[in-house]
Structure 1
Amino acid sequence: MNEALLSFLRKPSLLLALVLILLSGCQSVEPPEQAFTAIRAKSGESVPGPGPAQPDTLQPPPLAPLTGLSADLRQRIQALHRSLGPAAADLRPAVWERACVGYLVLRQQGKVRRRGLVAVADMELPSSTQRLWVVDLKAGRVLQRSYVAHGRGSGKLMARRFSNRIKSACTALGFYRTADTYSGSHGLSRRLQGLDARQNSNAQDRYIVLHAADYAGPEYLRHHGRLGYSRGCPALPPEQYRAIIGAVGEGACLLLCGSALESRWLDGAAASQAFTARGWR
């Protein structure tokens, strides 16, 4: 049994205070420790002060720059990020670098067909942030930016856990290839194929797709302060899902990024060679 509960049951004064609270008609349901604190205060028992300040949990884990990139490619990636302007202000440079490197390697090896376009979601930003970008690499322009929900197994406001496991209800990090569209229970949806073994290779078996969801839009956010949760799909706002599904098309590169990502496609040297050979094509 919970130690705090055992301690509470041994103290009749606290039991009486709890009865008084229940009879007062309070409608809120508090977490256990908060409830015990309120009970102690009503019974006259001393209440300990707050503990040490907690770190800012809204800060995503840091990402180190990739190794193996040529100085020229790194500078071009940085310049392209700057050219995207205010629409990409929240797109972390290290996440952007991973998206560009992965796109170049995947395009060179024929794993994605859509030229000059990459979609990237920084899944470690709060879900209250518009953390998905669809970018035209050749034009240096953000085509779409939107909210995107994570899986309920990954966390609440912040996604902290990621999994490729079936029935985990978690978001799976990694590079995806966008596939065909279909009309399902969420309306127009686009299938996704995971390209990273052990990271997102179960995407098709888990039915991970781009689709619309009421809990992924600004209206839900206004009422709850965060988005709701999917079963692992990168769910999109009802106001934008058609535009995003259309913008990425079929055969494009999509990265769901986080600090735990390990991918064979993050090969800086191979990306540098690919860029020298064909640029962003």
Structure 2
Amino acid sequence: MSYKFLPLLFLSLLAYKPTTKAVKTPAITNDSVKVIEQNKLIAENKTTNFEIVSKAFFYSLDKGTYSLPSLESFTKAFEGYEQLKKLGRVKNEILTIIDFSLSSTQERMWVIDMTTQRVLLQSLVSHGMNSGTEFAKSFSNENNSFKSSLGFYLTGETYKGKHGLSLKLDGQEYGINHKARERAVVVHGAEYVNKNLIKTQGYIGRSQGCPAVPMNMTKKLIDLIKNQSVLYIHHPSRIYMNKGSLTS
């Protein structure tokens, strides 16, 4: 990582002293027990250091006129982004976070430039019609479920369909969102994603599972995130937390 906050982070890591209180070495040990205890300590320190890096990045973000996503959703998104980047799958260093723990009346999509650490865009975004009404509560990877799928995606190619300019998505987590292409889950604009509907019915319109955005936002958003950037759909779902392959 070559993030601009790293000099400050380096100083904080120098000041950080990992504790070993939680790791108790038995009075009588053999070599295998010592190795296990050392590995546990290394794993604990690695987790702690990642949390420090993630928080430092989060609090260094330039939000401009926008708000920030929650620290919880960002930390999960950051972890998966780094994993995908290490695997060489990320070509466009943009991270999009959609937080489906929030009401559809809120601007719950953020687009973040990971090289400049700037929030580039924030927007309303829809969830699937069978995922819930105002709040998304149920998720699926199955065809014709008309539900949203959680987890990490890479953005694919653009095309023009019935919704105009659209962007294909490739789910990166088997059993959670790997059928995104098969289900035609894409980023597109929709007239039903607008603030006027919030005033009349209390929530925005819903899709068949796609993360749809306002029509006037579509081109700007797609131009920013196309060509293998990371899109993460967050929700504190116990099922996802147990099955997700890119976050701890």
Partner of 1:141: 118
Identity of aligned residues (%): 31
Q: Is the 8 A contact 1:122 1:257 kept in 2?
A: yes
Q: Is the 8 A contact 2:141 2:176 kept in 1?
A: yes
Matching of residue 87 in structure 1 with residue 66 in structure 2: yes
Partner of 1:71: 48
What is the TM-score normalised by the length of structure 2? Answer: 0.76
Partner of 2:9: none
Partner of 1:126: 103
Secondary structure of residue in 2 paired with 1:107: helix
Say which of 113, 118, 129 aligns to 1:152.
129
What code does the residue aligned with 1:250 have?
Answer: N
Q: Is the 8 A contact 2:66 2:121 kept in 1?
A: no
What code does the residue aligned with 2:136 have?
Answer: A
Where in structure 2 are there 5+ consecutive unaligned residues?
1-43
Q: Is the 8 A contact 1:177 1:193 kept in 2?
A: yes
Instruction: Give the distance between the partners of 1:242 and 1:223, measured in 2 at CA.
Output: 27
Partner of 1:233: 210
Partner of 1:271: none
Where in structure 1 are there 5+ consecutive unaligned residues?
1-66, 268-281
Partner of 1:168: 145
Q: Is the 8 A contact 1:218 1:237 kept in 2?
A: no
**Distance apart, 1:213 and its partner CA:** 0.4
Runs of 4+ with deviation above 6 angstroms: none
**Distance apart, 1:172 and its partner CA:** 0.4
Matching of residue 207 in structure 1 with residue 184 in structure 2: yes
RMSD, aligned α-carbons: 1.7
Q: Is the 8 A contact 1:194 1:202 kept in 2?
A: yes
Instruction: Give the distance between the partners of 2:117 and 2:91, measured in 1 at CA.
Output: 19
Say which of 258, 263, 273 aligns to 2:244.
263
Partner of 2:175: 198
What is the TM-score normalised by the length of structure 1? Answer: 0.67
Give deviations 1:215-270, integer Å, cap 9, x for gaps.
Answer: 11223323322111100000011121111111112111100111122321115xxx
Secondary structure of residue in 2 paired with 1:76: helix
**Distance apart, 1:112 and its partner CA:** 2.5
Partner of 2:76: 98
Q: Is the 8 A contact 1:112 1:252 kept in 2?
A: yes
Instruction: Give the distance between the partners of 1:156 and 1:127, measured in 2 at CA.
Output: 8
Instruction: Give the distance between the partners of 1:143 and 1:254, measured in 2 at CA.
Output: 14
Give deviations 1:185-242, integer Å, cap 9, x for gaps.
Answer: 0000000011111100111111000000011122332332211110000001112111
Instruction: Give the distance between the partners of 2:215 and 2:89, measured in 1 at CA.
Output: 29
Larger Rg belongs to = 1
Instruction: Give the distance between the partners of 1:212 and 1:78, measured in 2 at CA.
Output: 33
What code does the residue aligned with 1:98 have?
Answer: K
